[in-house]
Structure 1
Amino acid sequence: MAAIRPIGILTPMPEELVLLEAALQRPRSEERAGGRFIAGRLDGQDVVLALSGIGKVSAAQVSSLLLDRFAARALVVSGVAGGLDIRLGIGDIVVADRLAQQDYGALTRRGMVNYRAGSIPFGERRHDPYYDLPPELAARLRAAVRGLHLPPIPAKATGGRERRPKIRFGTILSGDQFVNAAPARLALRRRFPGALAVEMEGAAAAQIAERHGAPCIVVRALSDLAGATSHVDFMAFLPAAAAAAATTVRRLLPVL
C-alpha cells in the first residue's frame, strides 16, 4: 500500500511556527536550502513544518521544496495578516477561498491593472488574477470550523469589551509590502472589492501549489487593520493572533 503523503505547513515567522512545532509528535528535522524542515505527526496527520520567511519569493521557494522534496499532498499557510474589511477586527480569522497577488500586473495611466501571476502583464487578460479553492474543499473546511471556539480577543485589541473571534471565508491578497496606511488599505479594497485581508505569502504559495496540482489553504488571524498603527498593533498582537491561526489550522487538517 502506498504511503500517505504529508501535508506541508509553512509559516512566515518563528512566532507562528513554534506553536505548531510544540504539538508535533516524533519530530525529525532536516536542513534543506538554508532552511529547516520538521516532519512528524500533528493530531494524527503526517505533516512537514517549515519556516518560509517573509515575502512571496521566500514562500515560493519553501512551497516548492515541500511539494518536490517532501511530496506534500497539500500546502497550508498559517500566520497573521492585516484586515481590509472594517467589519473585521484584530483576532478574527480569515480562511482564503480566493487568493490574488495584488502587486503583480501593469502600472498604467489608469493605475495598477492586475494580471494573473506568471502571465504577460499587458494586453488582453486571458485569466483573472485569482487562485480559487475548489468548492468541495471549501465546503469541507467550512464544516470543519463550524462550532470551533477560539480564546476571546482581549479588550485591549477590540477597543472595548473582549469578544470571541469571528471566522470568515473570503479573498486574501498577497504582496511584497507591509500595508501601513489607511489610504493604501482603501486602494486595495477598490481594486479588489470584498477582499478581507492582506499579507505577503499566501498567493505565491498557491501559485506553486497549482503547478503541482495540489490545493493550498491559507489561514490568517488578523494582527492589525492595515492602517497607520499597523506596525504597532502587529507586534503587540502577533502572539495571540498566531495562536488563533494555529488552532484553526489544526482543526482543518483532518479534512485535507
Structure 2
Amino acid sequence: MTGLLVVTAVPAEAEAVQAGLADPTVAVMPVGVGPAVAGAATARLLALAEAAGRPYRAVISAGVAGGFPGLVAVGGTVLGTCAVAADLGAESPNGFIPVDELGMPPELLGGGTAVAADPGLLAALRAALPDATVGPVLTVSTVTGTAPSTEALRRRHPDAVAEAMEGYGVAVAASHAGVPFAELRTISNPVGPRDRGAWRLREALTALTTAATALR
C-alpha cells in the first residue's frame, strides 16, 4: 500500500502543497477545476494505483477556497467535516431543492449530496492543525458572487465554513473506491459579492504550504 494521494485543482496549489512536504509517500496531483473533472481524474488515479497493486491509503482534496465571513478569515485553514454538493438539484418557485429530495434512488447519487470525511483521517488532521476551522465545505460549479446568492447559500447550509469547486467530486471517487477521504482548504477570499481586489491568493497558497506539513 502506498501513502496519501493529495489532489488539487491547479498546479499552483499542488506546488504549494509539495513545498510543505518532505515525504515521498505523499503523491500530489493537480487534477483540474470543478467536481466532474476532479472526480473523474481522482477515480482514474485510484483505479490505476489499485490495478498496479499499490493502492492509496487515503485521498485529500486540497487547495484554496472562499470562506464564509465571520467563520473563517482570509488566510485561515479549514478542515471539512463533509463535502456538500451545494448546487446539485433543481430550482422551484419555493426555492432550491437538493437532488436527494427529488425522489432519485440513493445509489444514483454517489452517496448523497453530502459525503462525510473519514473520522480517523479528520481527527488526525485536527490534531495536527488545532487552529483550523472545522465544518462542512460546499462544492459549487459556479462560485458565489452576489449578495442574494450568498444569502440563499447561507440559509440552505448555515453550518458551512467554506466553498470550493472539487471536494464533492473527489469525495465520491474516494467513496466508490473504498478509500478514506478528507478536505483541506486555505482561504483566499470571503464568500460574497465578487471582488477580485479582495482576493489574497498568495497568502492562501503560503498558508497551504504551512498546512501541508500536517500531511507528512
Shorter-normalised TM range: 0.7 to 0.9
Aligned match of 1:113 in 94, 97, 100? 97
Secondary structure in structure 1 of the residue aligned to 2:150? helix
Equivalent pairs counted in the alignment come to: 207
Q: Distance in 1 between matches of 2:159 and 2:39?
A: 25
- The share of aligned pairs that are identical, in percent, is 29
Aligned match of 1:167 in 132, 136, 151? 132
Q: Which has the larger radius of gyration?
A: 1
Any conservation in 1 of the 2:122–2:182 contact (CA below 8 Å)? no
Report what 1:46 is aligned to.
25
Any conservation in 1 of the 2:85–2:139 contact (CA below 8 Å)? yes
Shift in CA distance, 135/49, structure 1 to aligned 2, threshold 3 Å: closer
Secondary structure in structure 1 of the residue aligned to 2:206? helix
Any conservation in 2 of the 1:16–1:79 contact (CA below 8 Å)? yes
Q: Distance in 1 between matches of 2:181 and 2:205?
A: 19
Select between 88-97 and 224-233 the one with higher mean Cα deviation: 224-233
Unaligned runs of 5+ in 1: 24-41, 147-165
Report what 2:84 is aligned to.
100
Secondary structure in structure 1 of the residue aligned to 2:96? strand
Report what 1:246 is aligned to.
209
Q: CA deviation at 1:91?
A: 0.7
Q: CA deviation at 1:100?
A: 0.5
Q: Which has the higher contact order (CA 8 A, sep 6+)?
A: 2
Secondary structure in structure 2 of the residue aligned to 1:108? coil
Q: CA deviation at 1:239?
A: 1.9
Secondary structure in structure 2 of the residue aligned to 1:123? coil
Report the RMSD for the aligned CA atoms in angstroms.
2.2
Report what 1:196 is aligned to.
161
Q: Distance in 2 between matches of 1:170 and 1:21?
A: 25
Report what 2:68 is aligned to.
84
Q: Distance in 2 between matches of 1:103 and 1:134?
A: 23
* TM-score where L is the length of structure 1: 0.73
Aligned match of 1:182 in 143, 147, 165? 147
Q: CA deviation at 1:128?
A: 5.5
Q: 1:1-256 alignment to 2 at 5 Å? A: 4-22=1-19, 42-70=21-49, 71-116=55-100, 122-123=102-103, 129-146=113-130, 166-234=131-199, 237-251=200-214, 253-254=215-216
Q: Distance in 1 between matches of 2:102 and 2:56?
A: 34
Listed one character per residue, the Cα deviations across residues 163-210 of structure 1 (whole Å, up to 9, x for unaligned) are: xxx511111000111212222122111011111101111111001111
Unaligned runs of 5+ in 2: 50-54
